[in-house]
């Protein structure tokens, strides 16, 4: 017991004994068993981060933001990947719960099974923050970027450059974010008095973001074959935009001379495309930081108010793929 007090700096322990205890602990390479500690009702100071995949810079930035805050708050982050599989997501979340993490950050996209699992865990009192995954009627804090606004700004930029025929590559109604982006694009078009033509919208495009280079390539090819092809193209994301870029090169179209191309997400490679890609940057790291802050506040009972949706602004990044 005295040893416990010495190590945890609680209660009264004489200086001399404390030093002896710590020396002995050091010699024996003693490490407290956090698992046994938990049996006594204490927190483990660990949180679980569930990711859809780890092959992209999002997850990386997100985790960087999360870790920064958690480190400072004395928590450990454990990660899990579900590779966009619902069963894997369920198992991963359950594993976190079984290992008694104090809270969860969920960065996967919405699915039936996933939503149900989250609902159940919340009911059992697990604090959860989701990122980019809106959930209705569940006590979950949600962080999201304003894709609508970002897309609106980007489309407005293209219109401001004099473009009237603007295509959209990679429409994917089943993906909430792509839909928001499309809506922002459409709203900007309408506000400028331009019609959103169906033949200028190509898709569908399925699967995770990094798999859509080919869709961008195909989409650009389709648009270029039109009688009056668009003079500017808004691609669902940067990977798609880079596929489109390649198609433009193959067709001998100059970018942005013959066709302006813009993406979304501002992946690191975007600045290295030829030409460097105009895109929209999401504050990913900031979303991770905010998620971690909110979660820690929930865990430590500093915030017991109602759960909220935190929308963070996107930033237009103009590069040479849309300007000379």
Partner DNA sequence: CTGGGATATGTTTGCGTTACCATACGCAAG
Partner DNA sequence: CTTGCGTATGGTAACGCAAACATATCCCAG
Sign of CA dihedral 63, 65, 70, 72: positive
Question: For the chain, percent helix, then strand, then coil, each to nearest 5?
Answer: 45, 15, 40
Cβ of residue 216: shortest distance to a second copy, in angstroms? 10
CB nearer to a second copy: pick between 2 and 88 = 88
| 210 contacts a second copy (rule: CB under 8 A) | yes
* Nearest Cα to Cα of residue 251 among 223, 228, 272: 223
Q: What is the DSSP letter of 265?
A: B
Which partner from the list a second copy, DNA, none does 14 bind, CB cut-off 5 to 8 Å by kind?
DNA
CB nearer to a second copy: pick between 57 and 110 = 57
What's the longest Cα–Cα distance across the chain? 88
- Name beta bridge partners: 322: none
| 320 contacts a second copy (rule: CB under 8 A) | no
Identified binder of a second copy from the candidate list 20, 100, 109, 285, rule CB under 8 A: 100
Which partner from the list a second copy, DNA, none does 15 bind, CB cut-off 5 to 8 Å by kind?
DNA
| 213 contacts a second copy (rule: CB under 8 A) | yes
Segment contacting a second copy (CB under 8 A): 24-32, 108-116, 137-145, 194-202?
24-32
CB nearer to a second copy: pick between 56 and 205 = 56
Q: Could you give phi then psi for residue 148, rounded to 5 degrees?
A: -60, -50
Identified binder of a second copy from the candidate list 84, 165, 246, 310, rule CB under 8 A: 246
| 28 contacts a second copy (rule: CB under 8 A) | no
Cβ of residue 101: shortest distance to DNA, in angstroms? 16
32: its two tokens: 């407290």
Tell me the three state secondary structure of residue 64.
helix
Q: Could you give phi then psi for residue 201, rounded to 5 degrees?
A: -110, 115
Segment contacting a second copy (CB under 8 A): 34-42, 162-170, 187-195, 292-300?
34-42
Which partner from the list a second copy, DNA, none does 191 bind, CB cut-off 5 to 8 Å by kind?
none
Q: How far apart are CA 184 and CA 177, in angstroms?
A: 11
Which partner from the list DNA, a second copy, none does 90 bind, CB cut-off 5 to 8 Å by kind?
none
DSSP E strands in the chain: the ranges are 46-51, 76-81, 103-106, 128-131, 141-145, 166-169, 201-202, 232-235, 260-262, 279-281, 309-312, 315-317
**Cα 87 to the chain's mean position, in Å?**
20
| 308 contacts a second copy (rule: CB under 8 A) | no
Cβ of residue 207: shortest distance to DNA, in angstroms? 39
What Rg value do the Cα atoms of the chain yield, rounded? 24
Considering only residues 258 through 297, tell me which ones interact with a second copy, judged by CB under 8 A: 268-269, 272, 274
Task: Give the binding site for a second copy (CB under 8 A).
Answer: 29, 31-36, 38-39, 44, 46, 53-57, 59-60, 63-64, 67, 71, 76-81, 83, 88, 91-92, 94-95, 97-100, 120, 124, 210, 213-214, 242-243, 246, 249-250, 268-269, 272, 274
């Amino acid at each position: 017991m005295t040893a416990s007090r010495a190590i945890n700096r609680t209660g009264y322990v004489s200086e001399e004994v404390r030093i002896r205890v710590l020396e002995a602990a050091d010699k024996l390479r003693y490490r407290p068993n956090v698992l046994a500690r938990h049996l006594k009702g204490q927190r483990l100071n660990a949180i679980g981060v569930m990711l859809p995949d780890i092959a992209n810079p999002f997850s990386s930035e997100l985790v960087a933001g999360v870790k920064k805050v958690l480190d400072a708050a004395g928590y450990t982050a454990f990660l899990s990947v579900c590779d966009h599989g619902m069963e894997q997501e369920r198992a991963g979340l359950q594993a976190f719960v079984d290992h008694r993490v104090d809270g969860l950050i969920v960065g996967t996209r919405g699915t039936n099974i996933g939503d149900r699992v989250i609902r159940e865990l919340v009911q059992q009192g697990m604090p959860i923050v989701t990122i980019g995954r809106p959930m209705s009627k569940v006590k979950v804090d949600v962080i999201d970027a304003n894709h609508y606004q970002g897309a609106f700004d980007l489309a407005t930029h293209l219109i401001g450059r004099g473009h009237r025929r603007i295509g959209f590559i990679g429409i994917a109604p089943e993906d909430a974010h792509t839909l928001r982006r499309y809506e922002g694009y459409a709203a900007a078009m309408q506000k400028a008095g331009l019609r959103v033509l169906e033949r200028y919208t190509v898709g569908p495009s399925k699967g995770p973001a990094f798999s859509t280079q080919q869709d961008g390539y195909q989409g650009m090819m389709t648009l270029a074959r039109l009688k009056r092809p668009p003079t500017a193209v808004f691609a669902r994301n940067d990977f798609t935009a880079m596929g489109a870029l390649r198609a433009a090169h193959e067709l001998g179209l100059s970018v942005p001379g013959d066709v302006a191309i813009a993406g979304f997400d501002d992946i690191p490679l975007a600045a290295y495309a030829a030409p460097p890609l105009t895109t929209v940057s999401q504050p990913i790291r900031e979303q991770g930081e905010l998620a971690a802050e909110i979660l820690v506040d929930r865990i430590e009972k500093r915030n017991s108010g109602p759960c909220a949706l935190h929308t963070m602004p996107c930033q237009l990044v103009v590069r040479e793929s849309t300007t000379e």
